[in-house]
Amino acid sequence: MIHRPVLLELSVEAMALEAGMVVVDGTVGAAGHARAFLQKVLPGGFLLGFDRDPQVAELAARELVSAGFTRGKHFEIEVRRFSQVDEALACRRPPDFDRLFLDLGVCSLHLDVAERGFSLKRDAPLDMRMNPQEQGSRSAAEIVNGESEAGLARIFAEYGEERYARQVARAIVRARARQPVRATLELREIVARSIPRRAWPPRIDPATRVFQALRMKANRELEELDEILGKLPGHMKPGSRAGIISFESLTDRRIKRAFRAMAQGCVCPPEQPVCTCGRKPQFKLVNSRVISAGPDEIGVNPRARSAKLRVVERLQESSKAEAAAGG
């Protein structure tokens, strides 16, 4: 299958890349975005890519070498979670970046390999971990068979926004009482039977939200996102930008809320007629509206339909604004 990175041209445009820049690609995947970014920042630039999956990280490195880039000179790929950006930067001089980019969600390479257990279209062991070697990680099967009924319902509601979370959890507990639920298609059938046919969502499998929830729980995706969003303000230098592509409303809301908070100026109570805090915005939203795919891209890459890109920039005068506000 041909890998098509979503929102590629729009991402390159929104990131405003220039020669000499240092780019962090925290979800390098098959290096589709990384390749385009390197073409813009060379000569003189550098790309530091992360992927928590060792096999995918090595694939990305091979793709970039095949495209004519030199590892160590033009780019480096590391096996790590994107929330560990501070640890990665601490080993580099200077320890900063001009652009940071994340393409969230599951990599299409994982979906293409049935044995990884991400796809609900092909039978495979329930795993869904991007890196099974990560300390403390739990597979989807361990979650499905180990959580209480209430715990499963909470996971499906919180991570998948599944309306029938309780019914699905109850059905899983009944099924695993007979034997453990260990395969993707087995779980898919249990979920489908527990959701009323009239409530099946159009265009997607009825088990999609439950599989999403298990994937996000197994990989701690919301925790990872919250961690990087919390670290961003302290790592972005004046003029730097951060762009994040998300595919679920759950993650997009978090990004939208965090970026708006970063771009906020005055924090005085709304009922106060005159600002007395003196706080000036340190960041700005690059686009007032979310960036999404047009019909042409969706036509050739249906996965782009749900993709949303948001970009935030640290203002050049941020240091002065901090001093004026006493921070």
Model confidence pLDDT, tens digit, residues 287-311: 989 999 999 999 998 889 999 999 9
Determine the pLDDT at residue 108.
65
Q: Residues 22-38: what's their mean pLDDT?
A: 96
Is there a single domain that holds both residue 202 and residue 242? no
Q: Residues 149-165: what's their mean pLDDT?
A: 97
Is there a single domain that holds both residue 257 and residue 297? yes
Domain boundary residue, one of 167, 198, 218: 218
Determine the pLDDT at residue 196.
94
Where residue 129 sits, what CATH number does that domain have?
1.10.150.170
**Domain-embedded: residue 3:** no
Only one residue has tokens 């993709």, namely 307
For CA atoms 171, 177, 178, 182, the dihedral sign is: positive
Alpha-carbon separation of residue 20 from 9, 113, 173 (angstroms): 20, 37, 56
DSSP state of 102: E
Is 300:272 a contact under the CB 8 Å cutoff?
no
**Domain-embedded: residue 200:** yes
Is there a single domain that holds both residue 44 and residue 187? no
117: confidence class by pLDDT, cuts 50, 70, 90:
low
Determine the pLDDT at residue 320.
46
Determine the pLDDT at residue 322.
45
Residue 109 has pLDDT above 80, yes or no: no
103-112, 121-130, 133-142, 224-233: range with highest mean pLDDT: 224-233
Domain ranges, residue 146 = 113-218
**Domain-embedded: residue 312:** yes
Is there a single domain that holds both residue 214 and residue 227? no
Is there a single domain that holds both residue 234 and residue 320? yes
**Domain-embedded: residue 315:** yes
Domain boundary residue, one of 171, 203, 218: 218
Residue 323 has pLDDT above 70, yes or no: no
Is there a single domain that holds both residue 74 and residue 164? no
**Domain-embedded: residue 124:** yes
Is there a single domain that holds both residue 13 and residue 100? yes
Which of 34-43, 124-133, 213-222, 314-323 comes out lowest in average pLDDT?
314-323
Determine the pLDDT at residue 274.
85
pTM: 0.90
Q: pLDDT tens, 59-83?
A: 999 999 999 999 999 999 999 999 9
Closest CA to 285 of 90, 14, 38, 34: 14
Alpha-carbon separation of residue 172 from 90, 168, 169 (angstroms): 45, 6, 5
Is 98:313 a contact under the CB 8 Å cutoff?
no
Is there a single domain that holds both residue 95 and residue 239? yes
Determine the pLDDT at residue 114.
59
Is there a single domain that holds both residue 175 and residue 27? no
Where residue 299 sits, what CATH number does that domain have?
3.40.50.150
Determine the pLDDT at residue 267.
79
Residue 141 has pLDDT above 70, yes or no: yes
**Domain-embedded: residue 233:** yes
Q: What is the mean pLDDT of the chain?
A: 91
Q: Residues 171-193: what's their mean pLDDT?
A: 96
**Domain-embedded: residue 307:** yes
Determine the pLDDT at residue 162.
96
Is there a single domain that holds both residue 226 and residue 132? no
Q: pLDDT tens, 261-281?
A: 999 988 788 888 888 887 889
Domain boundary residue, one of 183, 203, 218: 218
For CA atoms 200, 201, 206, 209, the dihedral sign is: negative
- The overall longest dimension of the chain from CA atoms, in Å, is 66
Determine the pLDDT at residue 321.
44
Q: What percent of the chain has pLDDT over 70?
A: 92
As a dihedral over the C-alpha atoms of residue 235, residue 240, residue 245, residue 249, rounded to 10 degrees, the angle is 70
**Domain-embedded: residue 2:** no
DSSP state of 183: B
Q: What percent of the chain has pLDDT over 90?
A: 77
Determine the pLDDT at residue 325.
42
Determine the pLDDT at residue 326.
40
Tell me how many domains the chain contains.
2
Is there a single domain that holds both residue 119 and residue 210? yes
Residue 159 has pLDDT above 80, yes or no: yes
Is there a single domain that holds both residue 253 and residue 205? no
Q: pLDDT tens, 230-265?
A: 999 999 999 999 999 999 999 999 999 999 999 998
